[in-house]
Amino acid sequence: MSPEIRNKYQAIIGLEVHAQMLTKSKAYSSDINQFGDKPNNNVSIVTMAHPGSLPKMNNKTIEFAIKLGLACNAKITQQQNFSRKNYFYPDLPKGYQITQDLTPICTDGEIYIKDDNGNEKPIKLTRIHMEEDAGKSIHDIDIYDTLVDLNRAGVPLIEIVSEPDLRTSKEAYNYLTEIRKLVRYLDICDGNMEEGSLRCDANVSVMLIDSKEFGRKVEVKNMNSIRNVQKAIEYEINRQIEKIENGEIIRQETRSYDALKNITISMRSKEDANDYRYFPEPDLQPLFINESQINKIKADMPMLPRDLFIKYTKEYQLSEYDAYNLTDSKDIALYYEEIIKHTKNYKSAANLMMGDVKSYLNQYGIEIINFPIYPKTLADLITLIDNGKISSTIASQKIFPTLLENPNKDPLKIAEEMNLIQDSDENEILSMITDIIRNNNIEAERYKNGEKQLIGFFMGQLMKISKGKANPKSANKLIRETLDKL
Ligand code: ADP
Ligand code: MG
Which atom of ligand 1 has the smallest separation from the CA of 216? Answer: 23
Split at pLDDT 50, 70, 90, the class of 262 is very high
CA distance linking residue 207 with residue 190, whole number of Å: 36
* Residue located nearest, by CA, to atom 6 of ligand 1: 163
Ligand 1 near 470 CB (within 6 A) = no
With CA atoms as reference, report the closest residue to 55 among 28, 26, 93, 95: 28
Q: What CA–CA distances, in Å, run from 297 to 233, 302, 330, 428?
A: 36, 10, 19, 62
Ligand 1 near 203 CB (within 6 A) = yes
Residue 336 Cα to ligand 1 middle (Å) = 40
Residues in the chain: 486
Residue 76 Cα to ligand 2 middle (Å) = 19
Ligand 1 near 43 CB (within 6 A) = no
Which residue pairs, CB below 8 angstroms and at least 24 apart, start in 34-37? Answer: 34/151, 35/195, 35/197, 37/151
Amino acid 419: pLDDT: 85
Cβ atoms < 10 Å from Cβ of 399: 22
Split at pLDDT 50, 70, 90, the class of 212 is very high
Q: Parallel, antiparallel, or unpaired for β 218-221 and 253-258?
A: parallel
Split at pLDDT 50, 70, 90, the class of 420 is confident
pLDDT in tens, 366-413: 999 999 999 999 999 999 998 888 888 889 999 999 999 999 999 999
Provide the mean pLDDT of the chain: 94
> End-to-end distance of the chain based on CA atoms, in angstroms?
68
From 217, 237, 249, 254, the mutation candidate for ligand 1 (largest count of ligand atoms within 8 A of CB) is 217
Split at pLDDT 50, 70, 90, the class of 131 is very high
CA distance linking residue 313 with residue 315, whole number of Å: 6
Residue 117 Cα to ligand 2 middle (Å) = 30
Residue 289 Cα to ligand 2 middle (Å) = 24
Residue 126 Cα to ligand 2 middle (Å) = 10
Ligand 1 near 163 CB (within 6 A) = yes
Ligand 1 near 443 CB (within 6 A) = no
pLDDT in tens, 82-111: 999 999 999 999 999 999 999 999 999 999
Ligand 1 near 161 CB (within 6 A) = yes
Ligand 1 near 13 CB (within 6 A) = yes
Spell out the residues 6+ positions from residue 419 whose beta carbon is closer than 8 angstroms to its own. none
Fold of 426-484: Arc Repressor Mutant, subunit A (1.10.10)
Ligand 1 near 14 CB (within 6 A) = yes
Task: Choose the weakest-confidence range: 45-54, 208-217, 473-482.
Answer: 473-482
Q: Give percent of the chain with pLDDT exceeding 90.
A: 87
Instruction: List the beta bridge partners of residue 204.
Output: 13, 218
Give the predicted TM-score (pTM) of the model: 0.86
With CA atoms as reference, report the closest residue to 9 among 299, 256, 240, 291: 240
Domain with CATH 1.10.10.410 in the chain: 426-484
Split at pLDDT 50, 70, 90, the class of 424 is low
Q: What are the backbone angles phi and psi of residue 218, rounded to the nearest 5°?
A: -120, 135
Ligand 1 near 164 CB (within 6 A) = yes
Residue 56 Cα to ligand 2 middle (Å) = 26
* Residue located nearest, by CA, to atom 22 of ligand 1: 217
Q: Give percent of the chain with pLDDT exceeding 70.
A: 99
Residue 482 Cα to ligand 2 middle (Å) = 76
User: Is the Cβ–Cβ distance between 182 and 308 less than 8 Å?
Assistant: no
pLDDT at 17 over 90: yes
Instruction: List the beta bridge partners of residue 149.
Output: 136
Ligand 1 near 16 CB (within 6 A) = yes
Ligand 1 near 250 CB (within 6 A) = no
What would the mean pLDDT of 420-441 be, rounded to a whole number?
Answer: 83
Split at pLDDT 50, 70, 90, the class of 184 is very high
Which atom of ligand 1 has the smallest separation from the CA of 252? Answer: 3
Amino acid 284: pLDDT: 95
Ligand nearest to the CA of 219: 1
User: Is the Cβ–Cβ distance between 371 and 361 less than 8 Å?
Assistant: yes
Tell me which of 1 and 239 has the higher pLDDT.
239
Residue 203 Cα to ligand 1 middle (Å) = 6
CA distance linking residue 74 with residue 48, whole number of Å: 34
Burial of 380 (0-12, 13-18, 19+ CB in 10 A): middle
Which atom of ligand 1 has the smallest separation from the CA of 15? Answer: 14
Residue 167 Cα to ligand 1 middle (Å) = 13
pLDDT at 51 over 80: yes
pLDDT in tens, 133-166: 999 999 989 999 999 999 999 999 999 999 999 9
